[in-house]
Amino acid sequence: MPHTTGVRPEMVSRVIPVDPFDLVIFGGTGDLARRKILPGLFRRFRSGQMPEGAHVIGAARSDMDDAAYRDMVREAIGEHGGSEAKDSKALEHFLEHVRYVAVDARGNTGWDALKEVLREDEGLVRAFYFSVGPGLFAELAEGLRRHGLADAETRIVVEKPFGHDLESARALNEELARHFHETQIYRIDHYLGKETVQNLMAVRFGNMLFEPLWNSQYVDHIQITVAETVGVGGRGSYYDKSGAMRDMVQNHLMQLLCLIAMEPPARFEPDAVRDEKLKVIRALDPVDPDSIVRGQYTSDGTVNSYREDAENPLSKTESFIALKTYISNWRWANTPFYLRTGKRLSARASEIAVVFKDAPHSIFGIDAGRHSNVLSIRLQPNEGMTLGVTIKEPGPGGMRLVDVPLDMTFADALGPEAEEVPDAYERLIMDVIRGNQTLFMRGDEVEAAWAWTDPLIEGWQRRGDSPKPYDAGSSGPDDAAFLINRDGRRWRGVRQ
Ligand code: NAP
């Protein structure tokens, strides 16, 4: 009997512990480990999802013992672990599961010590998180094999950036494939671990309501915006070799676009989902040069300009990009997808907006106004979804129409538990331990994304295009507004 109402059995037990594991974090002293990975693991430990048999082993070149590493982890969780970090009893218990080994990924030191720390128990999951610079990914994979630390069951987690272009991504895929099978490789895009992103799939494929309308017949256009208020300060010289296209569009915005546009997979299983995403990327049209606007922030007197942050006075790297693209398939023919992302913008806000077409005929006359429904999927802040619907404006004065939001902010709808939305990293790490690759990028997906991105970058490099300046704290260059306005549309405001 299908469940129609009430609490389903799977909701009763929300905490599903994973198998015991040894998780080695290469780069265990780095920024990502301290801000995201370790606090995330602690939260999972505290909520009972990490078994007693779980070991977390930090690995980096720095020379320290377990006690010194635990001090570092304690401090990192105190700083980045939110209110849960105040639970000092749980924190001390968690730290008992944490160890450290000094290993140089480039040399031969430390590997034997690491081998000694790792357990050989049957059923124990062994995973290595490559939270080190991308230049070390291939060497680490090779080192794990050479030193006998990996077998056919071992999993590796590879951070971004995955290559710099198609050629380098292909080379890295080949290098990893020499030592690990594709089913063992977990390429992280943390956007896929966000609650709302997964909810997008639930809304699309768990309801009858949206999917029949989810095509070019009913959807006017789609906007994907990832706006940041921060600049590139601190990692300016790295960013200057990358730019918004490589840093954000090729991976994060591309993944969001795939989830919005893909056909329903037959099952919510890794290859079924990733096959459909790959088809979307392969169906993406090349982008005309006049459908791309690149920008670079200038100083507003209170913050550095991009060129100051990048310490490159002649830099032509973009800190902002907006573009219009199309997907050449039956579902989306002629439906524009507008993508925009940038740094030092007026607000930190990420949203996917599905803008539906106007009703074909207004029975209320033109004075009532024309309105279109918009499904807004917010990644931050206030993760949630809003469906704009048109109703009559209350009160006398005739039939005037007004748009009101049907708000599905998770915290409001689902109660306080929904406020504790797990961080993307902790969810993804648990998926690694569970052996579920659904929310990780497959090698061919990454290559297809670069194959679409490379010609666009080569195009502006060949033409010698310079990015348009925009004021720090603004909504980007004026040309970005023109890109969409000339089609009779406009960007949605970025809400704080
Ligand atoms: P980071 O702060 O520079 O940390 C690098 C880590 O790697 C340190 O623990 C360092 O420790 C270790 N390391 C360096 N060389 C090593 C070697 N030869 N052998 C073993 N360990 C070595 O970098 P991060 O910001 O954490 O970034 C790590 C990775 O995550 C990068 O690929 C980055 O692109 C990616 N990522 C980071 C963020 C973020 O928010 N930070 C976001 C997305 C992706 P020792 O110096 O002691 O060896």
271 and 323 within one domain: yes
Q: Is 29 in the pocket of ligand 1 (CB under 6 A)?
A: yes
The rounded percent of the chain whose pLDDT value lies above 90 is 78
In-domain check, residue 437? no
32 is in an annotated binding site: yes
Residue 496 pLDDT > 50: no
Q: How far is the CA of 26 from the centre of ligand 1 (A)?
A: 8
3-state helix, strand, coil split of the chain in percent (to 5) is 40, 20, 40
Same structural domain, 345 and 474: yes
Write out pLDDT tens, residues 174-223.
Answer: 999 999 999 999 999 999 998 888 889 999 999 999 999 999 999 999 99
Asked whether the predicted pLDDT for residue 268 surpasses 90, the reply is yes
396 is a domain residue: yes
Q: Is the Cβ–Cβ distance between 334 and 222 less than 8 Å?
A: no
Query: Is 106 assigned to a binding site?
Result: no
Q: Is the pLDDT of residue 13 over 80?
A: no
Q: Which of 164, 252, 361, 371 is catalytic?
A: 252
Give pLDDT, residue 413: 65
Whether residues 152 and 248 fall in one domain: no
Beta bridge partners of 24: 57, 128
pLDDT of residue 404: 87
* Residue 120 and residue 201 in one domain: no
- Residue 6's pLDDT is 35
The pair of structure tokens assigned to 154 is 């071992």
Q: Is 371 a catalytic residue?
A: no
**Helices 443-463 and 254-261 sit at what angle, rounded to 10 degrees?**
120
Residue 411 pLDDT exceeds 70: no
Cβ atoms of residues 121 and 109 within 8 Å: no
Question: Within a domain: residue 361?
Answer: yes
Asked if pLDDT for residue 12 goes beyond 70, the answer is: no
pLDDT of residue 416: 59
In a domain, 1, yes or no: no
Q: State the pLDDT confidence band at 172, using cuts at 50, 70 and 90.
A: very high
- pLDDT, residue 366, reads 67
- Ligand 1 centroid, distance to 28 Cα (angstroms): 8
Say whether both 153 and 235 belong to one domain.
no
pLDDT at 415: 64
Residue 417 confidence (pLDDT): 59
Whether 276 shows a pLDDT value over 90: the answer reads: yes
Find tokens 């010194």 and name the residue. 68
Residue in the block written with tokens 């995973």: 127
52, 123: one domain = yes
User: What pLDDT, on a 0 to 100 scale, did the predictor assign at position 422?
Assistant: 72
| Count of domains observed in the chain | 2
State whether 128 and 47 are in the same domain.
yes
Average pLDDT on 450-456 reads 98
Q: Are residues 125 and 13 in the same domain?
A: yes
Q: Does 341 carry a binding-site annotation?
A: no
What is the atom index within ligand 1 of the atom nearest the CA of 34?
Answer: 26
User: Is residue 377 within 8 Å of 351, Cβ to Cβ?
Assistant: yes
Q: Which ligand 1 atom is the nearest neighbour of the CA of 26? A: 21
**Domain CATH code at residue 72:** 3.40.50.720
Residues 152 and 197 placed together within one structural domain of the fold: no
Determine whether the annotation assigns residue 294 to a binding site: no
Q: Is 260 in the pocket of ligand 1 (CB under 6 A)?
A: no
Shared domain check, 297 and 362: yes
Q: What is the mean pLDDT of residues 400-421?
A: 70
Which residues partner with 98 through β-bridges? 56
Residue range 428-446: average pLDDT?
A: 97
Identify the weakest region by mean pLDDT among 4-8, 54-58, 443-447. Answer: 4-8
Average pLDDT over the chain, rounded to an integer:
91
Residue 17: the pLDDT is: 75
Percent of the chain clearing pLDDT 70 (strictly above): 93
**Residue 494: pLDDT over 70:** no
Phi, psi of 316 (to 5 degrees): -115, 20
Q: Is 251 in the pocket of ligand 1 (CB under 6 A)?
A: no
Per-residue pLDDT tens over the stretch 91-145 = 999 999 999 999 999 988 999 999 999 999 988 999 999 999 999 999 999 999 9
- For residue 219, what is the domain's CATH number? 3.30.360.10
In a domain, 446, yes or no: yes
Cβ 103 under 6 angstroms from ligand 1? yes
Asked whether the bond before 336 is cis by omega within 30 degrees of 0, the reply is no
Full domain range(s) for residue 63 = 9-159
Chain-centre distance of CA 110, in angstroms? 33
Q: Across residues 315-336, what is the average pLDDT? A: 98
Residue 418 has pLDDT above 80, yes or no: no
Structure tokens at 484: 């969409």
- Model confidence at 313, pLDDT cuts 50, 70, 90, reads very high
Indicate whether residue 26 lines ligand 1 (CB < 6 A): yes
Per-residue pLDDT at 5 exceeds 50: no
149 lies in the same domain as 198? no
Looking at the domain assignment, is residue 74 inside a domain? yes
- Report whether pLDDT(235) > 80: yes
pLDDT band, residue 354 (cuts 50/70/90): very high
64 lines ligand 1 (CB under 6 A): no
Residue 120 resides in a domain: yes
What is the side-by-side order of every strand in the sheet holding 349-356? 401-409, 384-392, 374-380, 349-356, 219-227, 337-342, 320-325, 292-298, 468-471
Does 2 map to a domain? no
Last residue of a domain, one of 159, 181, 213: 159
Q: Which residue has the higher pLDDT, 422 or 476?
A: 476
Shared domain for 125 and 226, answered yes or no, is no
